[in-house]
Amino acid sequence: MSLFEIVAVIISFIGIWLTARRHMLCWPVCLAACALYFKLFRDEKLYADMALQLLFGLGIAYGWIAWRGDRDDSGEVIVRPLPPAEALAGLIAGAVGAIAIGWFTSHYTDAALPWVDSGLTSFSLVAQLWTARRHKANWLLWIVVDVIYVGMFVFKGLYPTAVLYAAMVGLAAMGYVDWHKAGRRTAIA
C-alpha cells in the first residue's frame, strides 16, 4: 500500500460516484483516475489493465461528448435501453477480446495474471462502452467485473484498490437503481 495508491483510490471512487449520479464532472475525474492507475498497474505488471487505462481515456472522451449532446429538458443525461443484439455482440466481443489479449500477454509479456487480467480488461471495455452509450446494463456488467477484480487485487496485495473495487460494486448497484429510475422516467415521457 502506498500513498499513490490511496490517492488513486479516492479519485476513482469520486469519479464512479459521479458517474452513478449521471453528473458530467465524472468524465474529467475519471480521466485523472485513469492516469494514476496507468502508473500503478505498470508498476505491478498488470499490463492488460495498464493498457485498459489508455483505452478508458479514449472511452472517457467518447462518453463526455456523447453525454453532452443527449440530455432531457432539465439537463439530465438520458438513459437508453440496451438492445438484445447489442448486448449479445458486446458479450461476444468481450469474450473474443479476453482470449486475444490473454494469449498475447501470456506469450509476450511477464504479466502477473495474464488470463484473469485480460478477461477483466476486455469486459471492462464493454462495460465502459455501455456506460458511454448510457445503457443501464453497464452497471450489471460492472458488478460482475468488479467482484472478480476484488479477488485479483487481494491476490496482488493491492488492498486499498481491492477495497475500492468492493465499494465500486456498491456504487454500481446504486448506479443501476438510479439509472433504472431515470430510464423509466424517460420511457414515460
pLDDT above 80: residue 77: no
- Over residues 164-183, the mean pLDDT reads 91
pLDDT for the residue numbered 83: 96
pLDDT above 80: residue 56: yes
C-alpha 121/C-alpha 136 separation (Å) is 20
pLDDT above 80: residue 186: no
pLDDT for the residue numbered 176: 95
User: What are the φ/ψ torsions at residue 5 (nearest 5 degrees)?
Assistant: -65, -40
Q: With a threshold of 0.75, does the pTM exceed it?
A: yes
Cβ neighbours for 49, distance < 8 A, ≥ 6 positions apart: 37, 41, 117, 120, 121
Share of the chain above pLDDT 70, in %: 95
pLDDT for the residue numbered 91: 98
pLDDT for the residue numbered 135: 94
- Over residues 92-113, the mean pLDDT reads 93
pLDDT above 80: residue 42: yes
H helix runs in 46-136, sequence order: 47-68, 84-108, 114-132
pLDDT for the residue numbered 32: 96
pLDDT above 60: residue 113: yes
pLDDT for the residue numbered 153: 92
